Amino acid sequence: MEIEQQLEKAARRFDELNERLQDPAVLGNANRLAEVMREYKQLEPIVSCYRERQDADMQLHDLYAMLQTEQDPDMRRMVTEEMQALQASVEQANGTMESLLQPMDAQDDRSVIVEIRSGAGGEESALFAYSLYRMYSMYAERHGWVQQVMSCNETELGGIKEIVFSLSGTRAYGKMKYESGVHRVQRVPETESQGRVHTSTVTVAVLQEVEEVAVTIQPTDLRIDVFRSSGAGGQHINKTESAVRITHLPTGLVVECQDERSQHKNKDRAMSILRARLYDRMQAEQNAQISSDRRAQVGTGDRSEKIRTYNFPQSRMTDHRIGFSLYRLDDVMNGDLDALFDALAAAEQAAQLAGEAEG
């Protein structure tokens, strides 16, 4: 009964928000509109599922009444089959709603900074790093997220040695937090004349974008160097010293940004990346002290862990942490990641529940 009350409350709140989105006072206030839209989008999948289940319940009620008076055997069989299908839909909707009603991690709506670096495999690794960047970019576009490249080091053949970019949108961290680790690709490189399958790796790190107040950085802990930026093969050479390199002396972390022509903008971006890396390090240290939390995670945070294989000859993507495979690799590389992210979220939730049961 408690879940039903939650669902009814969510439905009433959703209708209220829908009315507010028609209010000129809300439409004329950008901050208020963004706040209302954020809550509206969070409630929309829950309420949509709830109302679909309500419709199915009403149809079941009508079909049951029909079954009580229907005498024709063929018609009774058809009604029974339809009732079974509707019952299965109701059970599926109940499971979905229960999952959606689980408390969302307060950090899940944060923006993220994604770092992709080529690993073993030379130029083929760099080309696959670009493929992963494209995959995440297309996923972000599907979900209406905002993307911004903060730093990029390209190769002459169109690959990427390293790229750092931010993603902002509903549940950005909640979706992307599973991506940290080693991604392995098995495919025939374009430069391979014998048609042999090569194996290369790319590392991905997903960091939470944090406000200045979340991480204290003393100005005396920083060494800031400026230099002239340049692109792959000497392209896009900047004649002014707009590129920025920031070294955090206590930790030795180094961040470079040179994509903007403005030294001020490059410095701001570098500081944003540095804050994210320092916060990530703090979180890793805290998690390492809480073994139960580490057991409940689905391989998040360990960048040395091989988390996934993209096998092009078999058109297969396999996530090794949960033993999940999809045999439609082209769709995955074009940003169709919802099935994967849903499976990872379900596995993490199951692990957390198991951990609570053990406790």
Model confidence pLDDT, tens digit, residues 75-84: 999 999 999 9
Q: Is residue 358's pLDDT more than 60?
A: no
Contact 278, 253 (CB under 8 A): yes
Higher pLDDT, 301 or 240: 240
String of b and e for 177-196 (b: at least 16 CB within 10 Å)? bbbbbbbbbebebeeeeeee
Amino acid present at 23 = D
**pLDDT tens-digit series, residues 171-193:** 899 899 999 999 999 998 876 76
Pair of tokens at residue 27: 């439409």
Backbone dihedral angles phi then psi of residue 102, each to the nearest 5 degrees: -60, 140
Backbone dihedral angles phi then psi of residue 12, each to the nearest 5 degrees: -65, -40
- Listed ranges 28-42, 291-305, 307-321, 338-352; the one with the highest mean pLDDT: 307-321
| Banded pLDDT at 302 (limits 50, 70, 90) | very low
pLDDT of residue 235: 44
| Banded pLDDT at 114 (limits 50, 70, 90) | very high
Q: Is residue 315's pLDDT more than 90?
A: yes
**pLDDT tens-digit series, residues 138-162:** 999 998 899 988 888 898 888 999 9
pLDDT of residue 133: 97
